[in-house]
Chains A and B, each alone.
Chain A
Amino acid sequence: MKFKLFYFVSTIILFAGCGGTTVQRVAVEQVVDYSGRWNDTDAQMVSKDMIKDCLEGKWLANFTAEKGQQPVVIVGTIENKSSEHINADVFIKSLESELISSGKVRFVADKGERLEVREERKDQQESGYTDPKTIKPKRKEIGADFILKGTINAVVDETHGKYVVLYQVNLELIDLATNEIKWLEQTELKKLVTKTKYSM
């Protein structure tokens, strides 16, 4: 009996260090959750829902009727007020993608991108390398009519081994001329995350 115990224990020890890496390709749209943190699926789900709601708002019909053209929108900052680092760029790009593919609004580059484009235009105009017929002129940039900005909050209720997190994403569309908030939406996403205390 004692000998069997020794045999069993030795086997456990030998296998304690075993392991390896496996890689598997998955479809981009497949939902994969490991840690429970905010991930690409959350960003896509929330942006899709919120932009759909935004584009169904009265502000769009009113603007189009009044001005006779599609509004020009820019995505501003999405402030992260949660306890985890959220890559706001992924969320912002999801929002931009939904806005552009809707075909209902026109879209202009954000502040950082504009600076880069201006540098490029400056190079065209000043370097002497660009065919003069193809040089893009200054003062042709389109000014946005609205800015879309928001916050991501998270409320966490946690105990050892499990937690519930409620993400609350607030987006608002502000008229750049008047500071009037034309549309406001709040979306919530709740996750229950449980961790296994022991494994073999």
Chain B
Amino acid sequence: MLWFSGILMYNFSILFILVFFLASCSSVPKKQPLLFNQATINALVAADDFQQAAQVFKEGQEMYGPKSKLLYLFDRAYVAHLNKEYKESIRYFTFAEYKIDELYTKSISNILSTWILNDINAPYRGEEFEHTLINIFQALNYLSLDDVSEALVEARSLDRKMNLLKQLHPDEKNVYREDAFGRLLAGILYESTNRRQDLNDAIISYKKALTAYESPFYQDMHPPPLILKENLKAAAEKFDRGIDEKQNMAEVYLIHSNGLGAIKYPVDISFPTPDGYLMQIAFPEYNERFYEIKDSQLAAVSVKNKKFQAKTELGVNLVAVAKKSFTAKKNWFIAKGIVRPLGKYALERTLEEKAREEHGRGAAYAVKGVSSLYNLFSEQADLRSWQTLPAEIRIGRLILPPGSYTLNVSFLGENNKILGTGSLGEVTLKEGEKRFFNVRSVH
């Protein structure tokens, strides 16, 4: 730091510019590579080209920069999941969990720099609902590999996260502190082992899911899926009275991830101060993206050509969850967006006075000009979010007699117009068996 002090002694103006621009190198939002690379991945996912998106990830490590490592891991793992590279997806979601653990410790210098420079200076920590989505997608990964035991580990991990969230928000009813869809999926997973001790856990999970769907956070989004109510009733009957409504039957579940999740856009407010500085306040807002598919239908055709079909139901509206989670924190973002420019302004005014005293009016004008440019350039909203997420996750289920079936899915638009179909292949079901299929639609 001695060389730094030396410069300070001789040329204050140069130092001022140097400090801000050196700081800019490490701290001010980098439009490249994060935004460019994320937009590339996002565009490929939106174009349904999961294979190419996965390929792009394989060609470049650290694509989102060191401050957005978690975001990179979210996208990389989820794209691998979409590309049916389940082991790869498990690997990267596991790294994401490790990263979240690591990010628990917050750097004071980083926190300070977010108050002075920009929120993008802090590492991306992810939203709480994004953390839970790791468990949901990991469970789906393990189910795709026919590993119910490891999928159940995710159900238990989700339970652990929810317990912590409830401690964090003990009295706040309208914040994200329970994951309704995650609990529903956990219940189905517990039930799928066909063991009595797990059936009890299934009932607890279903009850928690129902309570969550009816809580203030979820209740204005959509009603609880009928599958949840049916499963809870059937599991309770089986546990309490030994009556198995699904006796001698098998079940096929369809998890349909639909549409494109909300993305953040910047709200920038620029204004001059009475003494001629240009200031900017910036904070993010969520914007929804259009998708045409509104519903889906699962169909099974037996070898005797008997047809079974069921529509999917909304399990979770991720756009609504993201927006509502953000609303709870929005005032904080806005407050920070106001305080930060005020702090910058106070510092810049001090520097201007110092420059005027030591080097005259010209230097003072130079400080003001550079400061104004810096204010506009540095004060930008933090737009980071997990953008490859679907807008919603739907769930459908068929209860079928054991046997062989051909499975298909239809994607429906307004007025049940069929917008596309897909084959899920052939399946042979045994009594008591539960099979899971994932599909993704983006249009």
Contact = CB atoms under 8 A, between A and B. Distances in A.
Given A80-B153, A83-B156, A9 B350 contact: no
Given A12-B109, A16-B110, A160 B168 contact: yes
Nearest to A2: B350
Nearest to A86: B153
Contacts of B98: 35
A10 B21 CA distance: 11
B121 A16 contact: yes
Contacts of B110: 16
Residue in B1, B106, B107, B351 with the greatest tally of chain A CB atoms within 10 Å: B107
Contacts of B116: 9, 13
A199 B107 contact: yes
Contacts of A196: 105
B160 A200 contact: no
Contacts, number: 91
B231 interface: no
B26 A16 contact: yes
Contact of A12 (B112, B150, B152, B163): B112
Given A6-B351, A159-B167, A195-B104, A15 B109 contact: yes
B101 interface: yes
Interface residues of B, number: 39
A156 interface: yes
A160 B167 contact: yes
A197 interface: yes
B163 A158 contact: yes
A53 interface: no
A200 B113 CA distance: 12
B113 A16 contact: yes
Nearest to B20: A10
Contact of A85 (B23, B66, B94, B167): B94
B101 A17 contact: no
Interface in B384-440: none
Contact of A83 (B108, B109, B159, B351): B159
Interface in B14-37: 19, 22-23, 26-27
Interface string A109-142: 0000000000000000000000000000000000
Contact of B101 (A7, A12, A35): A35
B157 A200 contact: no
A82 interface: yes
B109 A200 contact: yes
B264 interface: no
Interface string B328-370: 0000000000000000000100110010000000000000000
A195 B116 CA distance: 27
Interface in B77-126: 94, 98, 101, 104-110, 112-113, 116-117, 121
B164 interface: yes
Contacts of B109: 12-13, 15-16, 200
Contact of A199 (B106, B121, B157): B106
A197 B1 contact: no
Nearest to A154: B156
Contacts of B55: none
Contacts of A15: 109
Contact of B156 (A14, A17, A82, A198): A82
A198 B23 contact: no
Contacts of A84: 153, 157
B40 interface: no
Interface string B143-169: 000000110110011011001100110
Nearest to B1: A11
Interface string A157-185: 01111000000000000000000000000
A197 B101 contact: no
B336 to A, nearest CB: 16
A33 interface: no
Given A9-B116, A16-B26, A198 B164 contact: no
Given A83-B157, A159-B167, A197 B104 contact: yes
B25 to A, nearest CB: 8
Contacts of B164: 158-160
A200 B106 CA distance: 8
Nearest to B354: A3
B94 to A, nearest CB: 7
Contacts of A11: 1
16 contacts: A3-B354, A6-B347, A12-B113, A13-B116, A13-B121, A14-B19, A14-B22, A14-B26, A16-B107, A81-B156, A83-B157, A158-B160, A158-B163, A198-B105, A199-B106, A200-B108
Q: Which 6 A-B pairs have the closest CB atoms?
A: A17-B26, A83-B156, A13-B23, A2-B350, A10-B19, A16-B109
Interface of B: 1, 8, 19, 22-23, 26-27, 66, 94, 98, 101, 104-110, 112-113, 116-117, 121, 149-150, 152-153, 156-157, 159-160, 163-164, 167-168, 347, 350-351, 354
